[in-house]
Amino acid sequence: MELKEDTPIVILNFKTYLESTGERAVELASACQKVADETGVNIAVAPQHMDLSRVAGAVEIPVMAQHIDPIRAGGHTGSVLAECALEAGARGTLINHSERRMLLADVEAVISRVRELDMVSVVCTNNVQTTAAAAALEPDFVAVEPPELIGSGIPVSKAEPEVVTGSVDAVKKINPDVKVLCGAGISTGDDMKAARDLGAEGVLLASGIILADDPERALLDLVSKI
């Protein structure tokens, strides 16, 4: 699968749950791989920094970083260098996630950096206006997620459908090449279908799958109505 071309895409953000740490990160990614293989849906995973190379070594589906810093190689202790992420196996990165917001100038800098390395950029945004702003920076994807719905179990497609349609409209006006994802509260096949019906080309999700009793089954349900 190509991270960029094959939509709809499902990106599973592993965040920093114990349920998606270390050995369990590898297992979760393997479950994603299995569902992708069975269903033909493009599923990408974004494990924690220190799990990334192990996960990338264990699965064939695209692996992404959760964050990359706006730096060039040098003295930046504790930061994530794009080249290091790439060599570890990352084919793209989330940028500006609601739990890791970035300065406007740094969002732009990271998009440019990863573009140079032919990596895929997914900029997370919190409302229609910031989605429009992000689209002007020409990333590959924007993923709009109203922060108050993240981890809530209430899907954005139901609670605030106008955020999804408004984001799609705003992006298409500014830069039709940018693809729009949505996230926050998404966990079921109905949620994913609703997101698609609103114009989203995929979804970004996390706890709805990670904390499910059976993540593989939850993923299968998620992609069942595409």
* Cβ atoms within 10 Å, residue 107: 23
Active site residues per annotation:
97, 145
Would you count residue 118 as binding a second copy (CB under 8 A)?
no
54 counts as binding a second copy under rule CB under 8 A: yes
Select from 186, 224, 191, 180 the least CA-distant residue to 205: 186
Question: Minimum distance between the CB of residue 72 and a second copy, rounded to whole angstroms?
Answer: 9
Q: Pick from 35, 149, 178, 206: which binds a second copy (CB under 8 A)?
A: 206
Q: Is the N-terminal amide bond of 8 cis, ω within 30° of 0?
A: yes
Please report, as residue ranges, which positions from 97 to 116 form the binding site for a second copy (by CB under 8 A). Answer: 97-108, 112
Task: Return the ∠ at Cα 70 (arms to 64 and 74), rounded to 5°.
Answer: 105
Nearest partner of 193 among 41, 29, 61, judged by Cα? 41
CB of 153 closer than 8 Å to CB of 119: no
Q: Is residue 138 within the footprint of a second copy (CB under 8 A)?
A: yes
Please spell the DSSP secondary structure of 131-172, one letter per residue.
Answer: HHHHHHT--SEEEE--GGGTTSSS-HHHH-HHHHHHHHHHHH
For a second copy, which is the closer residue by CB, 116 or 197?
116
Comparing CB distances to a second copy, the nearer of 39 and 112 is 112
Sole window of 32-40, 87-95, 189-197, 212-220 interacting with a second copy (rule: CB under 8 A): 87-95
Which residue ranges make up the site for a second copy (CB under 8 A)? 13, 15-18, 21-23, 46, 48-54, 65-67, 71, 73-81, 83-85, 87-88, 90, 94, 96-108, 112, 125-127, 129-130, 132-138, 150-151, 170, 174, 206-207
